[in-house]
Structure 1
């Protein structure tokens, strides 16, 4: 785009600046010839105002007032080519132009405004062509990226490479990177540009140029931000659908409409394989993310827990991972309380794990603990379970980790423990019954202790394990286990 300084550099026009030299960097967007006494009513921001001075008043104070009103219209500059009967521009007016940083250029009366307008208009049209070409190139590159790359990071890398930019998308709340391109320049933080991306994305486009700005940059950035906004919104819609599907699955599991063992393949497709737990969450206040938009938090983009809103609580199904629990509290607020169940086992069922998580949550709130696992605050031992629910609770608390470990690792820890107790803690007899080396038995029982936190060779441990095993046998919770 043409600037006032560029116009002065065109020798054929023979223009010279007589005031407002510090404002010659202004951009000219159009040219307008006017000799009316009120040109500000007819010009637009960025216009180069050309006059033969017919409308300029003779009085010096009135000239200053006339100039101030013209400046308020955001014109780019004033070109005067005075005719013979035109008033002289007063020193007061020229001083005002210097004060207002508004360029006044002078040419001869013979200056053809049509020729001057031609230069301005051609510059504007050329800038528009460059912007159009840049925008067209951006959309062509984006279309090519859609064909070549299945993920957004790959497409952003193609855009960055083609446009000779370093691009990334960051979360506007935490500043964490959501998507990074492979192209990265060592740029000082003050040279980075952060452009908000519209919509509900709560994200910024972070951009660094390798070279200098060009005339096509503004339209290019707007187009790029628009494209990325659509892409991010599409990903958000996908995550909304995934959350709805996860909530439906949790409701089905809670209602016993779906067996947990049958749901495992679906969970594995969502990245939820291995040892899983149920989590009961009481969201805090003033967290950066509300409970109903938690799945959109960047920390859960790769693998989000299954989430279900239930009477002002959140029920989640996720991996047993302290980092996940810390992330939940970080997103929902540090006053968030979380109760974590024991490992979900087929024998005890999903509903039992939710009961454990709810109980752990209540205890966490009573103890003012941020995160509490089921059984960490001991509530006593049920000596004789009076219902299937109590039996499930016993089995889940003391044997659940062993059952889950056996299922995932194809091990035999529960069978080993049962054999050890049936042989009254006799190591040699147990090893013979299981047809294993004594050292293997030692290893297995140590693993039992690590998984449950209870030592199977103590009186207390033997009592707890024995009661849980009997509860499981009597209610046929693991009738296939010898």
Structure 2
């Protein structure tokens, strides 16, 4: 739109600003000529009001009241081309205009309002045409980014190049940058550039930050509104995709935990979701006060691009890559008082149920030890000599013997009985094979499997000591028969 300042700057229009200079940045949407005593009843917000002064009150107090009503109508400014018979403009009217920052312009009575109106309307139409062209360029640039099939960071880069502006999407809660067109590549630092922060509507809880590398780029509020609208749709689309990924991941996780499928069978699916390399299971108890909760944590900014399988039961259970940044982002999103237990690396031999059992145990131990994060097996349980409490005995039985118990439930390997007999026979292969009525090679296979599941070799000094201690702890507390 045309601004009042632009009218006074055009010498050909013959307008002089006589009051309300602080309001000369007001925008003019249209022009209205009215000489009635109540012009505010006939105009719309943004109108430039032109009068010969015929409807202007005579006294200073009435002129003040008249201008106040006109200003309340949200007119953009007042142009007076006073007829000789019209009342004089009083100093009180001018003082009121300055106080209200309402521009009052003066011109000679010979001024042709039609000529002035035509000039203003033509200027407004030119501005609107420019807005239309700029808007068309904006949508063309956005359509081009869609055809490029890039992620949102890449889309912002393409938009920034087309619009001569740099863009960032900032998390409104933490202030972290979630997406960026990389303003750091500019010759000037972002902090040195003109910047505008615009809230984005929707569930994303974000702001759009615009860095103007060109002072005239994307200055119109309507164009900024169009851009924010496009990005709001884009962010909502991403959130819908993440919601769908979570639902699919939860169903997949349920299938794994129920034993309906195995990690080996769905390995290609996990890799497609980015779950490859070393994986761990997390069990979390969210804090009461966090920016996110257990139902929407998959939208937390630090997890952008991270593939997770999430199940919300008595605790929040997550299968994810063994990356410290992911666990930190989850805890930060859920709140500083969130307790997190982390399993040993997931492997197909023990299965996912065992990994989540480890994560739950580590979470319980973390609460007892007043720690925020605890990895399975890292807790100092005080069991170097002998367990001193039921909870300590349960911890050592769970740590070393539950993998064997869990394995025996799904097979006929009898690993726990084999371990007991082997230790009772002081590591004698012959005696153990004889008592179990199995071949020596079968015993070798079982002991290797015990080593793999527990991480301890029954034939080593440390393995014999810890495994025997775990058996005695289980028997003495009746955790084991």
- Pairwise TM-score range, normalised by the shorter structure: 0.7 to 0.9
**Counterpart position of 1:368:** 370
TM-align CA RMSD: 3.2
1:312-367 superposed Cα distances (whole Å, 9 cap, x missing partner): x1111122333332222111111111122222222222112222222222222222
Contact 1:130–1:215 (8 Å) recurs in 2: no
Contact 1:3–1:25 (8 Å) recurs in 2: yes
Distance between the aligned counterparts of 2:326 and 2:268, measured in 1?
22
Distance 1:230 1:391, change over 3 A: closer
1:59-97 superposed Cα distances (whole Å, 9 cap, x missing partner): 121111111111222222211122232111122222322
Distance between the aligned counterparts of 1:466 and 1:346, measured in 2?
26
Give ranges in structure 1 of 5+ residues lacking alignment: 395-420, 424-447, 469-482
Structure 2 residue 265 is matched with structure 1 residue 250: no
Distance 1:466 1:163, change over 3 A: same
CA shift at 1:454, angstroms?
Answer: 6.8
1:142-192 superposed Cα distances (whole Å, 9 cap, x missing partner): 111211242222221111011101112122222222222145432326832
Partner-residue secondary structure (3-state), 2:198: strand
Contact 1:336–1:370 (8 Å) recurs in 2: yes
1:390-420 superposed Cα distances (whole Å, 9 cap, x missing partner): 35499xxxxxxxxxxxxxxxxxxxxxxxxxx
**Counterpart position of 1:306:** 309
Distance between the aligned counterparts of 2:369 and 2:408, measured in 1?
22
Distance between the aligned counterparts of 2:264 and 2:468, measured in 1?
26
Partner-residue secondary structure (3-state), 1:188: helix
**Counterpart position of 2:39:** 39
**Counterpart position of 1:168:** 168
Contact 1:348–1:393 (8 Å) recurs in 2: no
Distance between the aligned counterparts of 2:21 and 2:274, measured in 1?
65
Partner-residue secondary structure (3-state), 2:190: coil
**Counterpart position of 1:390:** 405
Distance between the aligned counterparts of 1:226 and 1:422, measured in 2?
76
Distance between the aligned counterparts of 2:109 and 2:77, measured in 1?
18
CA shift at 1:460, angstroms?
Answer: 3.0
Structure 2 residue 278 is matched with structure 1 residue 275: yes
Partner-residue secondary structure (3-state), 2:295: helix
Give ranges in structure 2 of 5+ residues lacking alignment: 382-391, 410-426, 430-450, 471-481
**Counterpart position of 1:356:** 358
Contact 2:300–2:329 (8 Å) recurs in 1: no
Contact 2:401–2:454 (8 Å) recurs in 1: no
Between 1:174-183 and 1:258-267, the stretch displaced more is: 174-183
**Counterpart position of 2:20:** 20
Q: TM-score, normalised by structure 2?
A: 0.79
**Counterpart position of 2:109:** 109
Distance 1:422 1:199, change over 3 A: farther
**Counterpart position of 1:460:** 462
Distance 1:4 1:345, change over 3 A: closer
Q: TM-score, normalised by structure 1?
A: 0.79
Q: How does 1:202-213 map to 2 (within 5 A)?
A: 202-213=205-216
Contact 1:341–1:354 (8 Å) recurs in 2: yes
CA shift at 1:389, angstroms?
Answer: 6.3
Partner-residue secondary structure (3-state), 1:111: coil
Partner-residue secondary structure (3-state), 2:291: coil
